[in-house]
Amino acid sequence: MLLNNYEMIYILKPDVTEDKNLTIVQEYKKLIKQYGGQDIFVQHRGRRHLSYNIAHYYDGIYVQMNFSGNGELINLLEKSMKFNENIIRYLTIKQNKQINFSATI
């Protein structure tokens, strides 16, 4: 199975509590693992001022996730984020390096 490396950053509404933030992170980590994603690394980038307002918000809580997965997983994650009322923006970047896990199985 050929997996690509991805970096996904999403911005939460500024009024999201720390507990809710951690719950959202755990939900996405579980979803990534459930659909064959690996090497999950999450960084909380903290609350930052936005360059321009998004949905009437001037601040947001940034969370960065790096993981390996396939395009189907990305579609699933982005669809989930699109309908998550706590997320005001998200961006997924495909990294250049690919990992071939079929040789290790």
DSSP 7-35: EEEEEE-TT--HHHHHHHHHHHHHHHHHT
- Residue 103 included in any domain: no
CATH classification of the domain holding 14: 3.30.70.60
Looking at residue 101, its pLDDT comes to: 57
d(CA 39, CA 45): 19
Q: What string of pLDDT tens digits covers the 105 residues of the chain?
A: 678 999 999 999 999 999 999 999 999 999 999 999 999 999 999 999 999 999 899 999 999 999 999 989 999 999 999 999 999 999 999 987 655 655 444
Encoded tokens for 37:
């994603």
Comparing CA positions, the residue from 103, 91, 101 lying closest to residue 70 is 101
- Residue 89 included in any domain: yes
- Residue 80 included in any domain: yes
| CA dist 11 → 20, 38, 81, 103 (Å) | 13, 22, 10, 37
- Residue 105 included in any domain: no
- Residue 8 included in any domain: yes
- Residue 67 included in any domain: yes
Structural domain that includes position 35: 2-98
CA atoms 20, 25, 26, 31: torsion sign: positive
- Count the domains in the chain: 1
Angle at 32 between CA 30 and CA 34, to 5 degrees: 65
- Residue 64 included in any domain: yes
